[in-house]
Amino acid sequence: MIDCIITGEAGKLHAVYHKSAEPGAPLAVVLAGNPRQKYHMNDRVTYAMFRAFMDIGFSVVRFNYRGVGSSEGVIGTTTDNMLDIATIIDWLQNKHEDSEKIWLAGNQLGAWYVLQTMMRRPEVSGFALVSPDPSVADFSFLSPRPNRGLLLQGAMEPDEARAFAGHLTQILKKQAQIDLETIRVKGADSVYSQPAELRQMYNDLKAYVGRENEEDKLL
């Protein structure tokens, strides 16, 4: 893993990057949660997602949005953060022009950004949502985009969060032709506060991505 400084629309973005030893290895971009709620690229869940992709042979990057940590600027809007995400994806793809697959994974608000980005980037071949923020209810950006992905959630999250996950699954299937496989991590809350819960989330994500990538089921 190496620290990188990537030039973004509002200044320099701080990222951590791992390059796979395999030529043409698939790529992944990992998105942290809402920076206004103190989520960042080194929080426990974001790091666990990063390691899951790293440990199955992906070239992968995680980063701080503008105004977070060493990333320049001030904390921005959803539009600002989406521009930062586009910058990171472009940077990673430019470094790996021989890679044919790119995955996105996001936690909390980052899960919402995964879906928004996927609708704008037809090259995205797989995705994972970890405990998506249940307060977000705008589905207007969805359009038909046949694909499959994973939704990971703590089994001990509040009732409204678990109900939201079911609602999201139905909306994605109906409106965007996206199928979600849902895994609920036993005993976990939305921040996977216990080491065993975080490890299980990591294992479930790694197993799903490894299986789907190997079998090439995703578009």
3-state SS string over the chain?
Answer: CEEEEEEECCEEEEEEEECCCCCCCCEEEEECCCHHHCCCCCCHHHHHHHHHHHHCCCEEEEECCCCCCCCCCCCCCHHHHHHHHHHHHHHHHHHCCCCCCEEEEEECHHHHHHHHHHHHCCCEEEEEEECCCCCCCCCCCCCCCCEEEEEEEECCCCHHHHHHHHHHHHHHHHHHCEEEEEEEECCCCCCCCCHHHHHHHHHHHHHHHHHHHHHCCCC
- Residue 217: the pLDDT is 45
Query: What pLDDT is recorded for position 1?
Result: 77
What pLDDT score was predicted for residue 142? 82
pLDDT, position 216: 59
Mean pLDDT by 10 residues, the chain (219 residues): 89 96 94 93 96 96 95 92 96 93 95 93 93 84 85 93 89 87 93 94 95 63
- Give the pLDDT confidence score for residue 174 in this predicted structure: 86
Domains annotated on the chain, with CATH: 2-215 (3.40.50.1820)
Distance CA 193, CA 184 (A): 15
